[in-house]
Structures are given as structure tokens and as C-alpha cells.
A = this chain, B = another copy of it.
Amino acid sequence: MTPKRRGQAPRQSDVARLAGVSQSAVSRVISGDVDSARIPEETRRRVLAAIKELGYVPNASARNLRNKRNRLIGVHTFEAVFPHARDDFYFEFLLGIEERAEQTGFDLVMFTSTGAGDGRRRVYRDGTNRLNLADGSVLLGVSTDRAELARLWADGYPFVHIGRREVPGAEIPCVIPDYRGAAIGIVDKLAGHGHRRFAYLREPMEMEPYADRRDGYREAVERLGLSDRSPGFRGESGLTGDWIDELVRGGETAVVAESVRLAEHLLGGLRERGVRVPEDVSVAVLEATWEGTSARWDSLEIPRVAIGRIAVDRVIDMLDHPDQPPESLLVPCPIVPGTTIATARDERL
């Protein structure tokens, strides 16, 4: 029996005693700190033997206390993960996050603790930022708490949020699907099919991601010198019978819809009026589609797995370069072909 302390994990000093060197020599051997270490092979071997004999294992907390590094990346979701892990929403992000964490040798801390018993999760629990256990964190969730984001940012904690979140007075670093770029791409595609007369169908809600889409749409339409008379785009929102009537009367041949919901609704309205998609009017959707919709929409795809990976890279990057101001990152959204875009009617005349 080696003289280990009862029930205690061995420390470097135990190893040191056994190997007949000092604790710091052990530390140097372990760090493999070749340049400044100046430890001869023989000593190194003795130390390694002692480590093996005692079954020494470094203490992560002590290391972290010293280094301020843990090789730990936090994942904070504002709702419980696993109940929803099956939904694509969380699942694919997590897939990418896990994958990249594994590749880069980071472990993942899933922060599950909640302040209240209300199911809403909070970063700060009785004043403690639980996240600070991890070197940096990826946050995601539908019901993000902006006040917490702001505080986190003010504290200088390294994190990224998946999806754009804006908080006045803070510059939240996000990883964001490039809805603006995708909107441009979709307008380009429609223009490539000869369309010149566009309408834009907007959700009645004001949210950051929609603003991006609208910017992209507007930019592409202007750059290409297209006509856009869409009533919705001029301010009134939502989809009414009037909107559709005006569309048909106005002779627009291409509609860009913000969501599948709107597109489906539009499709119904057009059919009732005897207008065919895509023969008479092409429709594209600025949202990721799914199985079981009533048409195979020309639409965009949210590269969730890639976003997860990128988020991890982004956090690691922030750790490596703490001084650089945190910037948000756009991830291109592939445009997926469907069957709702065709060559423009007037082109075919």
C-alpha cells in the first residue's frame, strides 16, 4: 500500500513525494511544457511512474481556478431541452454543437437549473451566474430573456446566441441565418425566371428575422430595377381577400411570402379565383418548409446543424481573442428548389 491519504484523491504533492521531487516539478512534467521545463528524461519517467502508481488525476476545479480555462462550453436553453429535442428546432442545433465540441475537445455543460419552479430557466440563479462555470456558452431558445442577455453581456461573459436578439445598449453576439441574403437569392431566382412584377407578403408581426428578410427583398428589387407594388410591403400587413384581389388585378407574376402559413393561405385564395401556381403566379417562401405542406414550396433552408457548429467555433474564437469586440455572424441559407416557381407568364407570351 502506498501512503495515500485516506479516501482522498492524490494530488501533485503526493506524486512529488513519491517521485522525490517538488510539486512544481510534477506540474511541469504534466504540462509537458517542453521549452521552459528543462526536465530530463529520467526524472520525467520517475514522475510518470509515480502518477501511474497513485492513479493521480488532475483536479479540474483547481486547474480552472488557476487557468481560468476549463475546456467546457455551456449550453443554455431557456426551456428544457429534451422534451423538445425531437423537434427539429433544438435537435439539429444541438447535433451541430455536440459534434463540434467533440471535435475541438470541449465538453458540454447543459445548464438545467431553473430559478423559479415555473419552467422558465434563468441564467442568474440567486445572483449566481451558473454559466460562469463554463469558459463560454451558446444560448438558444424561443423564449429568450433579453434582460439576462443584457446582463451577461455587461458582465463580459463570452457567449453567442443562436438567432438574432437585439437589446438596446448591448451588442449581443449572435449566429444568425442570413435571411437577408436568402431573400436576395430568392428574388434573383425569380428574376432569373423572367419575373419583373413582384409582390411581398408579410407577417403581421414585427420581429428581427422578418426585418432582415424585408431588407433583403427591398434591396434586390431595387438593384434589379423590378417593380414592386405589393400592398403589404407598403405598410399594411397580413393577408386579406382584398390583398389577393389587388394582386390578381395588378398583374404581378411573383409573390415572395414570409412564411409557409401565408403562402398556403395565398395558394388557397388564388385557387378559388382560378389562378394557378406556378403557371400564372410563382410563389416563393422565406422560411424553412417541412413535410406535409400542400405544395413543394420554393423556399429556403435553415442550416441548423451548421449553425450549431459555427456557434461553438464562435465561442472558442471569443475565448482565444478576448479583446476583439464580439461580432454577430451570418450563416448563408441554401435556397431549396420546389415546384412553385416557373417562368414568368409575360415572358412566355
Contacts and interface: CB of A to CB of B under 8 A. Distances in A.
Given A9-B155, A112-B107, A82 B72 contact: no
Nearest to A65: B61
B60 A130 contact: yes
Given A7-B156, A55-B154, A65-B65, A107 B127 contact: no
A156 B60 CA distance: 17
Interface string A90-128: 010011001101100111111111100000000010011
Nearest to A48: B127
Contact of A61 (B64, B151, B154): B64
A105 B7 CA distance: 27
B59 A132 contact: yes
A111 B98 CA distance: 10
A128 B62 contact: no
A77 B108 CA distance: 12
B59 A62 contact: no
Contact of A62 (B7, B65, B114): B65
A328 interface: no
Contacts of A57: 124, 127-129, 132, 155
B70 A82 contact: no
Chain A interface residue count: which class? 35 or more
Contacts of A55: 151, 154-155
A81 interface: yes
B91 A85 contact: yes
Contacts of A91: 82, 85-86
Interface string A35-65: 0000000000000000100011111111011
A83 interface: yes
A105 B112 CA distance: 8
A85 B94 contact: yes
A108 B76 CA distance: 11
Contacts of A109: 72, 107-110
7 contacts: A55-B151, A55-B154, A55-B155, A70-B133, A81-B98, A82-B99, A108-B110
Interchain residue pairs A-B with the least CB separation, the first 4: A61-B64, A60-B133, A82-B95, A108-B110
